Structure 1
Amino acid sequence: MRCEIRHATEYHYPTPAWDSFNQVRLHPSQEERQTVRSFHLSVTPDAEVSSHRDYFGAIVHHVHVHDPHTHLKIEAQAIVDTHARPDPEPVQVMALAAERGRHTEFLVPCPRVPAGPWPEVFHVARPDLSDDLPGYLVALNTQLYRRFTYDTKATSVSTPLAEFAKDGRGVCQDFTHAMLGVTRQLGIPARYVSGYLYSGGEMLGAEATHAWVECLVPGYGWLGLDPTNNCVAGEKHVKIGHGREYSDVSPVRGTYYGGGRGKMDVAVHVYSEQ
């Protein structure tokens, strides 16, 4: 599937701001399941732009606007071809024992996914060592999808996982942190994925950047699971990057001097050619 993506972030300030510095993670990743055909980042007003790859391999752009300004627009455009992957073959949960030491960063607690009895909190049955791992993960994905309610007004980017667990209402970021909490407590290496979703009107979370989970399956690699939509991440999912939690892959964040209390608007459009 070919996807054309346009992502615009705009800031409006009541008084001039200056020395605005932003970290921008909007460049889709190049990997087995997707090919980046083009990417272009435009900034208004003129800005100093540089880039590097972060610890997890994502391309990060640094946008620095020196001069006073009351409006800042950062727009990314990309064309990406996504490719279907075969389903993983059955593999027992016990096969993870040999893999955990190489992926401890996706097992240990982090600020947005702290340690806790998350399987018990979300009433999730722990798997037996002989259980089929991919089958268990797909069933877990469905269980969490059914337990939570998608509600764009219920949470913010700073809502703790414990609060979401209590109310059960939130967005893709919350669904993803919840699944990370469960899988990591079960000893399954899992990482937070930021990206885009081609919806066509039938999937949740396409109005902005989307989030889902990748879990390690020995002999297969990282299996993408989308608990917001109760599906395996497929050709409609375009990955930007991954990390331990949202903070590692937040799309745009930064600082500035002056400006007063600014207003931010975000518009995401994903078009597709089958």
Structure 2
Amino acid sequence: MRCEIRHITEYHYSQPAWDSFNQVRLHPTQEARQSVRSFHLHVVPEAQVSSHKDYFGALVHQVHVHAHHTHLRIEAQAMVDTHALPDPGPVLVAALEGARSSLTEFLVPCPRVPSGPWPEVFGVTRPTPRDDLGQYLQNLNSFLYSQFQYDTEATSVNTPLAEFAQSGRGVCQDFTHAMLGVTRQLGIPSRYVSGYLYSGGEMRGAEATHAWVECFIPGYGWLGLDPTNNCVAREKHIKIAHGREYSDVSPVRGTYYGGGQGSMSVAVYVYRQD
């Protein structure tokens, strides 16, 4: 499937700002499940732009606006082809024993996904070594989907996982952190994924950048699972980056001098190109 993406972030300041530095993580990944045909970053006012790859391999742009300004607009445009991949065949949970040592960073606690009895908190049944790992993960995905309510007003970007566990209401970021908490406590290496979602109107989370989980399956690789929509991440999911949690993949963040009272707005558009 071919998708065109426009991601617009705008800042407005009550007083002039200057020396604005922004880290922009909006370039889709190039991998087996997707191909990037084009990417353009447009910044107003004029800015110095450089790029590098982060620790996890995502392409990051550094945007520096030196001049005084009261308005900053960062627009990313991309054209991406997504490709269908086969689902994993049967793999026993016991097969994870030999894979964990090389994937420790996706098992250990981090600030937004702290250590805790998350399987018990969310009422999850633990797998046995003889269970099929891929099927267990899809069942877990469906279970968590059924336990939470999607509510864009219930949480903010800084809502702790424990608070979401108590309320059971939140957005894709919360669903994703919850699934990461469970899978990591079960010894399943898992990572946070940010990206876009082409919904066609029937899926949740397409109004902004979306989040889902990738879990490691020995002999297969990383399986994308979307607990917000109770599905495997397939051609409608367009990946930007992955990390341990949201903080590793936040789309745009930065600092500036001056500015007074500021405001930010974000608009995301994903179109299917037939």
Aligned to 1:85: 85
Counterpart secondary structure, 1:159: coil
Q: Which residue matches 2:189? A: 189
Question: Counterpart in 1 of 2:160?
Answer: 160
- State the distance in 1 between where 2:254 and 2:156 align: 18
Q: Distance in 2 between matches of 1:116 and 1:216?
A: 21
Q: One-letter code of the match for 2:201? A: G
CA separation in 2, counterparts of 1:273 and 1:75? Answer: 20
Give the distance between the partners of 2:87 and 2:58, measured in 1 at CA.
25
1:50 matched residue in structure 2? 50
Structure 2 partner of 1:29: 29
Taking the aligned partners of 1:188 and 1:149, their CA distance within structure 2 comes to: 25
Secondary structure of 2:207's counterpart equals: coil
Q: Which residue of 2 aligns with 1:217?
A: 217
Match of 1:251 in 2: 251
Deviation at 1:76, TM superposition (A): 0.2
User: Equivalent residue for 1:67?
Assistant: 67
Find the counterpart in structure 2 of residue 103 from structure 1. 103
The equivalent of 1:41 in structure 2 is 41
Please list every run of 5 or more consecutive structure 2 residues that lacks an aligned counterpart in the other structure. none
Q: Cα deviation per residue 1:150-204 (whole Å; 9 max; x = unaligned)? A: 0000000000000000000000000000000000000000000000000100000
Deviation at 1:261, TM superposition (A): 2.1
Give 1:216 shift: 0.2
Q: Distance in 2 between matches of 1:210 and 1:178?
A: 15
Per-residue deviation, residues 80-137 of structure 1 (Å, max 9, x unmatched): 0000010100100000000000100000000000000000000000000000000000
Taking the aligned partners of 2:211 and 2:175, their CA distance within structure 1 comes to: 9
Whole-Å separation in 2 of the counterparts to 1:244 and 1:261 = 32
User: Where do 1:221-236 residues align within 5 Å?
Assistant: 221-236=221-236
CA distance in 1, matches of 2:199, 2:125: 31
Q: Runs of 5+ in structure 1 lacking a partner?
A: none
Aligned AA (2:111): P
Q: Distance in 2 between matches of 1:138 and 1:260?
A: 48
- For residue 73 of structure 2, give the secondary structure of its aligned residue in structure 1: strand
Separation in 2, partners of 1:82, 1:176 = 22
Q: What's the RMSD between the two structures over aligned residues?
A: 0.4
SS in structure 2 of the partner of residue 103 of structure 1: helix
Identify the residue that residue 201 of structure 2 maps to in structure 1: 201
| TM-score of the two chains, using structure 1 as the length reference | 1.00
Is 1:9 matched up with 2:6? no
- The CA deviation at 1:255 is 0.4
What whole-Å deviation, never above 9, does each CA across 1:36-77 have from its counterpart, x for those lacking one?
Answer: 000000000000100000000000000000011000000000
Percent identity for Structure 1 against Structure 2:
78
Instruction: Give the match for residue 180 of structure 1.
Output: 180
Q: Which residue of 2 aligns with 1:171?
A: 171
Partner secondary structure for residue 212 of structure 2? strand
The residue aligned with 2:142 is 142
> What is the number of equivalent residue pairs in this alignment?
274
Aligned AA (2:129): L
Match of 1:14, SS?
strand
> What's the CA shift string for 1:210-262, capped at 9, x where partnerless?
00000001111000000000000000000001000000000000001110121
